[in-house]
Structure 1
Amino acid sequence: MRARLLPLAFVAASFVPAVIAACGSTPRPEGEFDEPDTSIDATITPVDGGSFTDSGFEPADGSILPPAGETRDPVDCNEAKQTKSYVGCDYWPTVNANNVWSIFDYAVVVSNTGQNVANVTVTGPNNFSKQVQVPAGELRKIYLPWVASLKGPDADNQGSATPLTASVYATGGAYHLVSSVPVIVAQFNALQYKGEGGEGPLPPDAGPDASPPAKNWSTCPGNGGVGCFSYSNDASLLLPSTALTTNVRVTGYKGWTSPEVPNPIPIFPPTPKQDIMGPHIAITAVEDNTTVTVRLSGPGKVLAGGAPIPATNGGGTLTLNMAKAGDVAELVSDKGERFDFSGTLITSTKPVQVIAGLPCVNVPAGKGYCDHVEETVAPAETLGKRYVVAPPTGPKGGGVKHWVRFVGNRDNTTLTYAPAKPAKCPATLQAGEVVDCELVSEAFDVQGSQEFAVVGLLVGAAELGNLTEAQRGDPSLTTFASVEQFRTKYLFLAPDDYDVTFVDIVGAQDSAPKVDGVAVPASTFTTIANGLGVFRVKLGPGKNGAHALESAKPVGIQVVGYGANTSYQYPGGLNLKLISAPPVPK
């Protein structure tokens, strides 16, 4: 459906052309580097009793890792409370701003890692309550009503979006998901990319065991116009409340400013540069009586949101008193690339969840189409000193360019790269400093003298030209797991609502990964540096979208999915060991 003279993904004004987003393919650098002291084997050292700890560090909370070659998930909820990983029993799904049409569903996808049936209960706003059973080794989609105040306005029927103009405090605005056994949870905002699937409302006289009818898509605003596509999706890996902490260094993306566009008719003036969309962060209290202190980055201006959220300029400090678990403070910044919450330090008296994103953004700013982006921000104590960053797999397979940014967590952090430093990536970082490497095609291994964070974004198809197909793809936000948080076992989610999905596996060549019991061919491995590289695997259906990965050595994974006019990317899993001291507020 290339016949889209009107926007296909959301834009902020009718005269701003939307350009479809996707990912293509670019050459990948290769080369061998023999530096055994920086290999995965050197990073993780066996210790007595068959368990192992990070070289030179012992977790302050006493948590341990399983024996080398094994990653054992918690077997019950009591153990999950002590385990620091993405597997747990208690989660807080939270809607954040997206201009997608509300006929598309906000949903969580729950995957059961254990041997017993998971009895899952979700409660939330407006007395919502739902119970779902998830069989062992499978996943289930749970459709949840949008929370209108946090979602923001829908786009019009031509796909033009409206930016948020104020911050929002939503009392009891988050959902609470509790499972009888440990599970994995990701939220999809929205789940479907086209007008298919989903659930309709139950009739008033429906019994307690009634199944919802199929969703009626006849009222989709895009019907007869730009088409019934969501155009605006992303996914976030949710972290169990037992893995959250009281310190968060925000990793997100900046606001969107469209560049000046020359007029094809020289006698007419160009379309001027315009500030279109601002970023947001959604802070969710997971315990009652939580006081949150937000020390804003220089570009992190906050728009007022009533008495609980006063207007605060960048560089200022904001205090939030969150009375009840499930309260959400969605801090919204002003429009344009000058505004960015990344680097902001959030501290709290009790653990909080933070999701960073934008309702819609072009990446790069002048290349369409725009799309909703979001990702859960990892606790600051879980950040590492080493990252292996591989360009994501594009819709046609093979690595493609992406937008990369670094976020500093401590002053005077020096960085060392192999095989080479991308031109615009930093050599040093200060606490809260954000550096955009911009578009990066090459893979790299980067090590810091202190912990830091690395963020990636899929880019618009207009940036990649003919390296996509069937109009697949657009911007999406992800964070990379540090090598210190790699695992040897994952159960991860790749819902069957998308046309094509990949898992990118980063690790040693002899890690011998298996996906769904099938060995990944060694021929799919591309070396990056220091004996590490990336395997790229196109996924089949799995168990209704649930996939299992095992490897002989710890690896990191990114899950990437594409549909027409949209995509998602998220870290498929990671350990969340407390490997760093809390950052020092400035």
Structure 2
Amino acid sequence: MQYSKHTLFLGLGLLAAAASAAACSASGSSAGPPRPGNTSGGGSGDGGSSTNTSTSGNAGSTSTGDDIGTGTGGSDPGPELVGDPKTCAEAAANKSYIGCDFWPTVTANIVWSIFDYAVVVANAGDEVAEVEVTRDGASVAHAEVQPNSLTKVYLPWVPELKGPDAGVCASGESISSSVRVDGGAYHLVSTRPVTVYQFNALEYKGAGGPDGKDWSSCPGLRMCPSSGDAYGCFSFTNDASLLLPSTAMTGNYRITGQQGWRSASMGGYAVITGIQDGTSVTVNLAQGASVIAGDDIPATPGGGSFTVDLDAGDVVEILGTPSSDLSGSLVTATRPVQVLTGMPCVQSPVGYKACDHIEESVFPAETLGKRYFVAVPTSPGGEVFGHVVRLYGNVDGTALTYPSGRPDGAPTSIDAGQVVDLSVVKRDFEVVGDHEFAVSTFMLGAEIVDRNTAPPDQKGDPSQSHATAVEQYRTKYVFLAPSDYDESYVDVIQPLDATIMLDDAPVDVEPTPIGNGSGFGVARIPLGPGNDGAHVLTASAPVGIQVIGYGSYTSYQYPGGLNLVLIAPPPPPPN
């Protein structure tokens, strides 16, 4: 799958045919076409469009309006876990994004390897956290994380999982088959509860990195023979994931990803990491999925299944065909595992600059909720333009209501494994189900979100995040907004009367109400440097947060944290 990051970056060829070069440049997704029994599309072509029309198949109905409702919202939030864990035992019992045991895992990305894969560890406790990182039993890195501070831990790429780099002309091929790497994951262990985020890659331009890093060999500084120009030392394609501690993992996951990018021959993937020896993992594919064979992973059509055996640290990177969608597939394991989803590069929506790597941790199925507020991410300059939204069914016949008004294309019901694309949604909304389900969001390309800035200085690009169920909101978050980026924001979904404190200072940003009676709103808060990028947010009532950052043709977004209480039954296996 040959494609050029730079072509899309400069907009010299936005709609490549399957054999043509496509391109990459920051972090994202797109809406997509209907597929029988699996996905309802928001638009036409291989990647959808901004036309909001969607039919949810047998389980749903067609919506063409964008009405604003007057409902009062869904059920009350679930139980709030009071206080932060002080010990690893408390962290294990509390089941949240805070923990002592994590499994950083490289995912496929054609970014030049001079840019660093890294994890960032934040410590909100009052004691030093000693952090040790190993791979396949060998020590890789050690760090001390001071109280109320963070530490960047730079780790070597795992080439088999990352795939090849782009060439000097910013074009190249990503992985073309599924991959298995025994001992391919890193294992991060801390003596005190911490939060961990992985960045693939961390820097977006040729600056920073480990002490003494020399950027002079960056491929972007060399002349591209075909153009006669040097493209510059920019990563163009990166994203970040909130890593979940092993104590919050389970053996049940509904894949919440993005469909393949057919015209660029780019497939989506699911990356499964074993965290205990002797784990048997079965993947039941959704009807719209199709897996490319590789190593001991068999070629498998939609509706089929396969099983792999993993020991602690073993990784399988399951690659879908470019015309398929792994989303909605069900992963079941005999022991807890970690699951990430992503793509090497994608536009959002297809046809709009620029392309970017996307990835995010998949939340365990038992932690999914019934009520979500889906907020449009703050764009560069504090503007609000829109994002692509996908809904994922987990239980057959789940009825969905929209107390704040139903977005275009939104279904009234959804089945297990079904995926509905809402295409580009331009306003915040609430969605409530009578069973648990999942929601993912995908930031738009820089051509849309920073349209008033002339290329090549536009900020933004696709990035994937997951909406957090109201039942899993918290009253305190320790989160990271790396200082490597030009602009960063935290979007807080909060009760309208809640008091918010950020880094010990009251927040004076007035939340924008969601609908006409939900009682919730969104406060869009620009972030300063904090403590080298570390921030602490507290609230008088449970809130949800999304953390967002922008650089030149680059972005990231991730949920800043959440509780991971087991509030839903495991989904039954497919018939």
Equivalent residue for 1:379, pick from 364, 367, 388? 364
Q: 2:174 aligns with which of 136, 151, 163?
A: 163
2:398 matches 1:400: no
CA contact (8 A) 1:164 1:278 kept: no
Does residue 215 (structure 1) correspond to residue 233 (structure 2)? The answer is: no
The answer (yes or no) to whether the contact 1:7–1:159 under 8 Å persists in 2 is no
Residue type at the aligned position of 2:526 = K
Q: Structure 1's 88 and 22: CA in aligned 2 closer, same or farther, altered over 3 A?
A: closer
* 1:14/1:160 contact within 8 Å kept: no
1:327 paired to 2:314: yes
SS of 2:401's equivalent in the other structure is strand
Deviation per residue, 1:463-493 (Å, 9 max, x gap):
3462557311110001111000000100011
Q: Is structure 2 residue 443 aligned with structure 1 residue 458?
A: yes
Contact 2:96 2:565 in 1 (8 A): yes
Match of 1:244 in 2: 249
Contact 1:33–1:531 (CA under 8 A) maintained in structure 2: no
Q: Residue by residue, what CA displacement relative to the aligned partner does 1:218-257 show, whole Å, maximum 9, x if unpaired?
A: 1101114111000011000000000000100010101113
2:337 is matched with 352
Q: Out of 225, 231, 234, which is 2:236 matched to?
A: 231
**1:14–1:494: structure 2 CA closer, same or farther, 3 Å change rule?**
farther
TM-score normalized by structure 2? Answer: 0.86
Tell me how far apart the structure 2 counterparts of residues 162 and 326 of structure 1 sit (CA, whole Å): 26
* 1:90-116 alpha-carbon deviations (Å, 9 max, x no partner): 000000100100000000000002110
Q: Give, in angstroms, the shift of residue 526 of structure 1.
A: 4.0
Distance 1:33 1:577 in 2: 30
Equivalent pair of 1:30/1:528 in contact (CA under 8 Å): no
Using a 3 Å threshold, how does the CA distance of structure 1 residues 299 and 161 change in structure 2: closer, same or farther? farther
Contact 2:180–2:315 (CA under 8 A) maintained in structure 1? yes
Which of 74, 89, 106 does residue 100 from structure 2 map onto? 89
Conservation of the 8 A alpha-carbon contact between 2:257 and 2:342: yes
- The equivalent residue for 2:58 is none
Q: Corresponding residue for 1:535?
A: 523
1:57-456 pair list within 5 angstroms: 65-66=80-81, 71-124=82-135, 127-199=138-210, 213-224=211-222, 225-257=230-262, 274-306=263-295, 308-322=296-310, 324-335=311-322, 338-456=323-441
Please tell me whether the aligned partners of residues 246 and 351 of structure 1 are also in contact (alpha carbons under 8 angstroms): yes
Q: Give CA-to-partner distance per residue, 1:534-583, whole Å, 9 cap, x none.
A: 00000001111100000111100000000111100000000000000000
The one-letter amino acid of 2:76's match is: T
SS at 1:8's partner residue?
A: helix
Distance 1:132 1:544 in 2: 16
Aligned length: 519
1:16 Cα deviation from its structure 2 partner: 4.3
Matching of residue 585 in structure 1 with residue 573 in structure 2: yes
Q: Distance in 2 between matches of 1:19 and 1:120?
A: 34
2:483: which partner in 1? 496
User: Alpha-carbon deviation of 1:369?
Assistant: 0.9
What secondary structure sits across from 2:341 in the alignment?
strand
Please state how far the C-alpha of 1:339 moved relative to its aligned partner. 1.0
Tell me the distance in 2 between the aligned counterparts of 1:30 and 1:517.
39
Which amino acid is 2:404 matched to?
A: P
Gaps of 5+ in 2: 29-65, 223-229
Pair 1:170–1:478, CA change in 2 (3 A): same
CA RMSD of aligned residues (A): 2.3
Rounded to whole Å, the distance in 1 between the matches of 2:409 and 2:492 is 25
Tell me which amino acid in the other structure corresponds to 1:240.
P
Does the 8 A contact of 1:20 with 1:461 survive in 2? no
Mapped contact 2:24–2:236 kept (Cα < 8 A): no
> Residue 460 of structure 2 aligns with which residue?
473
Q: Which residue of 1 aligns with 2:499?
A: 512
Give the whole-Å Cα distance in 1 for the aligned partners of 2:178 and 2:25: 29
Distance 1:399 1:9 in 2: 24
Matched, 1:556 2:544: yes
- Once the two structures are overlaid, the 10-residue window that deviates more, 526-535 or 75-84, is 526-535
Cα deviation for residue 523 of structure 1 reads 3.0
Q: TM-score, with normalisation over the residues of structure 1?
A: 0.85
Output the CA distance in 1 between the equivalents of 2:383 and 2:141: 41
CA distance in 1, matches of 2:418, 2:67: 31
Q: Is the 8 A contact 1:22 1:395 kept in 2?
A: no
Task: Give the stretch that moved more between structures: 153-162 or 495-504.
Answer: 153-162
Matched letter for residue 144 of structure 1 = L
Match of 2:158, as an amino acid? Answer: V
Offset at residue 128 of structure 1 (A): 4.3
Distance 1:398 1:465, change over 3 A: closer
Give the letter aligned to residue 283 of structure 1: I
Q: CA deviation at 1:31?
A: 7.8
Q: More deviation in 179-188 or 160-169?
A: 160-169
Question: Does the CA-based 8 Å contact 1:361-1:372 persist in structure 2?
Answer: yes
| Inter-CA distance 411–30: structure 2 relative to 1 (3 Å threshold) | closer
Q: 1:9 to 1:487 in 2, by over 3 A?
A: farther
Give the Cα separation in 2 of the matches to 1:239 and 1:195: 29
The AA in structure 1 aligned to 2:142 is Q
Q: 1:386 to 1:556 in 2, by over 3 A?
A: same
- 1:359-409 CA distances to partner (integer Å, 9 max, x unpaired)? 001111111211000000000000000000110000110322100000000
Partner SS state of residue 382, structure 2: coil
CA distance in 1: counterparts of 2:474 and 2:88, whole angstroms: 20
Using the alignment, how far apart are the partners of 1:19 and 1:233 within structure 2?
A: 10
Partner secondary structure for residue 311 of structure 1: coil
Note if contact 2:8-2:353 (Cα within 8 Å) is conserved in structure 1. Answer: no
Output the amino acid matched with 2:572: V
Structure 1 vs Structure 2: percent identity of aligned residues? 50
| CA distance in structure 2 between the aligned counterparts of 1:311 and 1:577, rounded to whole angstroms | 35
